[in-house]
Structure 1
Amino acid sequence: MNVKFIINPSSGKQIVQKSLDRIIGRLVLDKIIKEVDIYYTVNEEETFNELKNIPKGMFHLIVAVGGDGTVNQVINGMVKYNIDVPLAILPSGTVNDFANWYKISNDVESFIEMIKNMNTAKIDVGKVGEKYFLNVAAGGMFTDVGYKASSDFKTTFGKYAYYVEGVKEIPKNLFNSIEVEIEYEEKKEKKEIFMFIVSNTPMVGGFKKVAPMAKTDDGLLDVCIIEKCDIKDFVTLFLQVIAGEHINHPKIMYLQSNKIRIAPTSKDEEIILDLDGEKGEKLPATILTIPKAIEVVIP
């Protein structure tokens, strides 16, 4: 098996990357891997070019080493350029939502065993404009902390870097709502909201049950919208989100659909999407599912 490793050298827990020599060496010695090619990411454009220039049939597996943002870049390139081989993830980022949901470990022995077994699952991918996401598209309050926190800060403090960045945003965001128009399943509604999350897995931002009904192979995206509320309701709601008991809260709109359009009612309102922790498109946006678009190696 010929394998292409795509590695983010500045991603989260860099200690994982120090285990790569052991992982690759063991897989070569055990005759699981025949040839290896390693590429270190520079930016999204360069990663796309690297994937675009892979000759068809040259590799049998792509391994993304990094966090949710690195995986996002890799799946964008793979879907865009029709690279039809399985994707394995060695999580070394700040939060690793998708990998954590599937219990994909960065432990050396566990990762080697996973590659040896090569169990795979066909996974849905979300699409916004010309960009794709594996786990989440979100907008509004707190949804920009993923790309606002610096790489060094995330490397040092891990997922707590997001929480610190989120706390810093509370004073300016708590009472700032946005009015949006939501279209889905031939319905159209206007809502004044704090934030919206469109998810492919239940896990978002390290919280395990933000979208508790989500499945990665059902052809649907789970949409969780937090409507404007007072601080008392917000605190109660936040605690319910942590417990995964929020979807029946009166200030939550929860739905499943294969396509949703979200647009601000004011042209002066600028809302930027977060796609798997990366800065994405501006609203208005149509978010849809591409069923079983990518094959992922899972334990």
Structure 2
Amino acid sequence: MKRMLFIYNPMAGKEQIKNKLSDIVQIFCKSGFEITIFATQGPEDATNIVQERGEEYDYIVCSGGDGTMNEVATGYMNITKKPICGYIPAGTVNDFASSLKIPKIMKKAAQLITQGSVFRCDLGQFNDRYFTYVCGFGAFTEVSYQTPQEWKNALGKAAYFIEALKHIAEIKAHHMKIIYDGNEIEDNFILGLVSNSVSVAGYKAYSKMNIMMDDGKFEALFIKEIHNPLELQAALNGLMSKKFDSDRMLQFSSSEIKIICDDEVQWTLDGEDGGLCKEVTMKNHQYALPILCDKSVSAQVSHRAAKKAEEVEEK
């Protein structure tokens, strides 16, 4: 039998897994899995169990929000033999699952794990930590982990916007030097997002055709300090149209990015607290996470699949 470690966060989202756990386990058992179930009780529990016992299993499946998935991915980066990963989203936004077209309905996500294909997704490193889809600073990036869990459970995505409005007057610009691919940009920035995802905080920042989640590169988007309403409008127009041609915006792709700040900056990793840092280095680990998802994902977010399609077309 195929051995599976099933990790779930009982508090994620609206605690919906409590009513779905039996159905999920039954789906796995019918597909020939021998299952060990582990419920997280606090921060880093998922990382620790993957590091301690992950190599004993053929599959590691987690259910929770993007923060739980982040912990599992961090554990993966600290073991040699990497089992196939599965994800059953149970959080409020679930950007990582959305980018990989993993169903929001938990039973369907479980069925996908028994039928899907393995996609080798890139993972990001942030100094000595890791992220699955985004790290960021400034503007509203702190909102996701400052928002009370009870609000998330009761209000869903609206809870984030309510919390954001409370902090709109607190946006602070940070003087930074951004270094990538031989380029060096120095300016004051109010927002930075370094991602490997179609969706960030529920917002689809890029055209899907521009995002390749296994190409070994991050998509980086920075917004410079806003001085007047016209600059603010230009930046908002760029975000809405997905055309980042305003002189207040900096957008590029790179496999490694270094940022040096004058002061300590609060970062988030996959929507969770990333700590205060004056200097950060982000590296893309290509093909690091073997995760089960819909076969159609390869056609949309896979660099390898796109290259194969081009080769076939040329022939």
In structure 2, list runs of 5 or more residues that go unmatched: 295-315
Q: Which has the higher helix share?
A: 2
Write the distance in 2 (CA, Å) between the matches of 1:263 and 1:33. 50
2:173 aligned residue (150, 171, 177): 177
Corresponding residue for residue 150 of structure 1: 148
Q: Deviations over 1:1-54 (max 9, x none)?
A: 2211111111113224421211211331x2x13311111112333333222221
Q: Does 2:251 match 1:254?
A: yes
Write the distance in 1 (CA, Å) between the matches of 2:280 and 2:249. 21
1:210 Cα deviation after fit: 4.7
Write the distance in 2 (CA, Å) between the matches of 1:239 and 1:151. 32
Q: Which residue identity is paired with 1:154?
A: K
1:290 Cα deviation after fit: 0.7
Corresponding residue for residue 299 of structure 2: none
In structure 1, list runs of 5 or more residues that go unmatched: none
Write the distance in 1 (CA, Å) between the matches of 2:222 and 2:128. 24
Corresponding residue for residue 23 of structure 2: 22
Write the distance in 2 (CA, Å) between the matches of 1:86 and 1:262. 33
- Pick closer, same or farther for the CA change 1:131–1:211 going to 2, 3 Å: farther
Corresponding residue for residue 9 of structure 1: 10
Q: Does 2:164 match 1:163?
A: no
1:177 Cα deviation after fit: 1.4
8 Å contact from structure 1 (residues 145, 166) kept in 2: yes
Corresponding residue for residue 279 of structure 1: 273
Q: Does 2:138 match 1:137?
A: no
Write the distance in 2 (CA, Å) between the matches of 1:161 and 1:83. 39
Q: Which residue identity is paired with 2:268?
A: D
Q: Which residue identity is paired with 2:214?
A: D
Misfit runs of 4+, over 4 Å: none
8 Å contact from structure 2 (residues 174, 189) kept in 1: yes
8 Å contact from structure 2 (residues 54, 60) kept in 1: no
What does 1:48-197 align with in structure 2 at a 5 Å threshold? 48-54=47-53, 56=55, 58-173=56-171, 176-197=172-193
1:231 Cα deviation after fit: 3.1
Pairwise CA RMSD of aligned residues? 1.8
What does 1:263-278 align with in structure 2 at a 5 Å threshold? 263-264=260-261, 266=262, 269-278=263-272
- Pick closer, same or farther for the CA change 1:150–1:46 going to 2, 3 Å: same
Write the distance in 2 (CA, Å) between the matches of 1:211 and 1:184. 22
TM-score (norm 2): 0.86
Corresponding residue for residue 47 of structure 1: 46
Q: Which residue identity is paired with 1:284?
A: E
1:75 Cα deviation after fit: 0.4
8 Å contact from structure 1 (residues 272, 283) kept in 2: no
1:84 Cα deviation after fit: 0.5
1:207 aligned residue (203, 223, 240): 203
Corresponding residue for residue 291 of structure 1: 286
TM-score (norm 1): 0.91
1:211 Cα deviation after fit: 7.4
Write the distance in 2 (CA, Å) between the matches of 1:109 and 1:143. 31
The percent of aligned pairs where both chains have the same amino acid is 26
Match of 1:272, SS? strand
Match of 1:203, SS? coil
8 Å contact from structure 2 (residues 10, 40) kept in 1: yes
- Pick closer, same or farther for the CA change 1:236–1:14 going to 2, 3 Å: farther
